[in-house]
C-alpha cells in the first residue's frame, strides 16, 4: 500500500498518481500500477483492508509470522501507528512472531508499507529465529498484551469557588496584560539565545489566567487557592520547562500562604522550591537572576513594589554581562552569543514587576 511512488534521483517532480486523500493498493516496488485505488488514507481502514486481503489468501487455521515493512518514506512514528493498527485486527490472535516494523524491502522514498504473512512450520520458524549477520534484519519478536496499571497517585484538581477582590483582580490583570503584550519582544530576545518561544510560552499562561479573570472564574478573595489554581493551570497550558517551574513556584507559594505566611514570604518559598527542582540559581542566567533579588527586596519592604522592580531590572541587566549560562538552552551557547543579550526570562520577570509598580 502506498500514498506516493518512489522518485529516482535524476527524475523531475512527477504528477501525483491519484487524487489527494487516496492510496494505492498493490503498487509495485518499482512504481508499477497497483491493483486498486482506495479513497482513504486512514491508517486503521488501510490496515484492516490489507488484513482482509491477506486472510482470504491464508489457511483458516495455523500460526503465523508477519512482516511489517517500511517501503522507505514512512516515518518511525507512522510505522508505530501502523503496528498498533495491526494489533487491533483479528489477525493479531494468530501472530506468533512479528518482524518489524522496519525498512526491509524498500523502494527509495516510496511513501508506503507492505504486510507479509507466512504460515509457520517448524523449519520456517527455526530459520526465522536463527542468528544472521544481515545488519538490517530484525529478530522476530512475540507480540504481547500491554497491561495498563491504574495510577494511584493522580493529583486532585484544585476545588475552588469564584470570588471577587478588586485589588487582587487588578494585580492579575496587570501581570497577564504585560506578559501578553511582551510576547513578540520576548520571542525575539529568546531567538538570540534560545529557541525563540519564551514570549509564546509566557503569553499562553497569561491568556489562560486572563480569560478566567474575564469570566470571573478565579478565587480572587482566597489567595492560597488562587495560587494553587494558577500553578495547576500553568503546568497544563504553558508547556516546556518554564511551565513546570512556574507551576512549582505558584503551587509552593500557595501552600505557604495556606500556612499563614505573608505574600512576600510565600513567594520566596515558591522561589526556593523552583530552585530546588529546577537546579538553577542566581547567576545562572535565567529568570531567577531577576526574580530572586526582586523577592528579596519585597521581603525587606513588602509595600515597596518600586524597589522590587528596581532590583529585578538590575538582575536582568546583569544577564547581559554574563558570558556563560548555567541552565536552560542558553547553556549550550558560546560566550559571544550571550554577551550583550538579556535573558528573556529575567526580562519577563522585570517587566512584570514594572507593571505592578506602575499600577
pLDDT tens for each residue of 227-248: 999 999 999 999 788 899 999 9
pLDDT tens for each residue of 56-73: 999 999 999 999 999 999
- Count of structural domains within the chain: 2
Tell me whether residue 87 is exposed, middle or buried, using C-beta atoms within 10 angstroms of its C-beta: 0 to 12, 13 to 18, 19 or more.
middle
CB atoms within 10 A of CB 105: 14
Same domain, 173 and 121: no
As a whole number of angstroms, the distance between CA 197 and CA 205 comes to 13
- Cβ atoms of 72 and 106 closer than 8 Å: yes
In a domain, 12, yes or no: no
Q: Which domain holds residue 202?
A: 166-357
pLDDT tens for each residue of 65-116: 999 999 999 999 999 999 999 999 999 999 999 999 999 999 988 889 999 9
Same domain, 284 and 189: yes
Last residue of a domain, one of 128, 152, 180: 128
* CATH number, domain with residue 317: 1.25.40.340
In a domain, 65, yes or no: yes
Helix, strand, coil percentages in the chain from 3-state DSSP, rounded to 5: 50, 10, 40
Last residue of a domain, one of 69, 98, 128: 128
- Is the entire prediction scored with pTM above 0.85? no
CA-based nearest residue to 86, from 122, 126, 113, 104: 113
Same domain, 120 and 179: no
Q: SS3 for 192-216, per residue?
A: HHCCCCHHHHHHHHHHHHHHHHHCC
Instruction: Read off the pLDDT of each residue in 283-300 and give the average, rounded to a whole number.
Output: 93
CA count, 13 A, side-chain hemisphere, 11: 10
Paired sense of beta strands 95-102 and 64-70, if any: parallel
Catalytically active residues are 30
Amino acid at each position: 500500500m502506498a500514498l506516493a511512488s518512489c522518485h529516482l534521483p535524476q527524475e523531475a517532480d512527477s504528477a501525483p498518481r491519484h487524487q489527494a486523500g487516496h492510496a494505492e493498493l498493490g503498487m509495485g516496488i518499482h512504481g508499477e500500477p497497483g491493483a486498486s485505488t482506495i479513497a482513504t488514507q486512514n491508517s486503521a481502514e488501510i490496515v484492516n483492508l490489507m488484513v482482509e486481503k491477506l486472510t482470504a489468501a491464508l489457511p483458516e487455521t495455523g500460526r503465523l509470522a508477519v512482516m511489517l515493512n517500511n517501503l522507505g518514506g514512512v516515518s518511525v512514528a507512522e510505522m508505530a501507528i501502523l503496528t498498533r493498527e495491526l494489533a487491533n485486527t483479528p489477525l493479531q490472535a494468530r501472530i506468533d512472531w512479528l518482524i518489524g516494523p522496519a525498512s526491509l524491502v524498500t523502494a527509495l522514498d516510496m511513501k508506503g508499507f507492505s504486510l507479509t504473512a507466512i504460515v509457520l512450520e517448524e523449519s520456517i520458524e527455526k530459520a526465522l529465529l536463527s542468528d544472521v549477520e544481515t545488519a538490517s534484519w530484525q529478530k522476530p519478536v512475540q507480540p504481547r498484551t500491554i497491561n495498563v496499571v491504574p495510577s494511584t497517585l493522580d493529583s486532585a484538581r484544585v476545588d475552588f469557588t469564584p470570588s471577587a477582590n478588586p485589588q487582587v483582580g487588578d494585580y492579575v490583570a496587570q501581570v497577564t496584560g504585560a506578559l501578553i503584550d511582551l510576547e513578540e519582544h520576548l520571542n525575539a530576545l529568546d531567538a538570540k539565545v534560545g529557541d525563540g518561544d519564551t514570549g509564546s510560552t509566557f503569553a499562553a499562561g497569561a491568556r489562560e489566567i486572563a480569560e478566567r479573570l474575564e469570566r470571573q472564574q478565579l478565587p480572587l478573595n482566597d489567595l492560597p487557592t488562587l495560587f494553587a489554581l494558577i500553578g495547576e493551570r500553568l503546568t497544563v497550558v504553558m508547556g516546556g520547562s518554564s511551565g513546570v517551574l512556574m507551576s512549582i513556584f505558584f503551587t509552593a507559594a500557595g501552600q505557604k500562604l495556606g500556612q499563614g505566611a505573608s505574600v512576600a514570604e510565600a513567594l520566596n518559598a515558591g522561589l526556593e522550591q523552583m530552585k530546588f527542582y529546577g537546579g538553577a540559581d542566581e547567576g545562572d542566567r535565567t529568570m531567577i537572576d531577576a526574580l530572586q533579588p526582586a523577592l528579596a527586596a519585597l521581603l525587606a519592604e513588602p509595600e515597596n513594589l518600586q524597589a522590587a522592580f528596581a532590583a529585578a531590572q538590575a538582575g536582568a541587566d546583569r544577564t547581559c554581562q554574563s558570558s556563560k549560562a548555567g541552565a536552560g538552552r542558553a547553556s549550550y551557547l558560546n560566550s559571544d552569543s550571550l554577551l550583550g543579550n538579556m535573558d528573556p526570562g529575567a526580562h519577563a520577570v522585570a517587566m512584570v514587576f514594572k507593571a505592578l509598580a506602575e499600577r
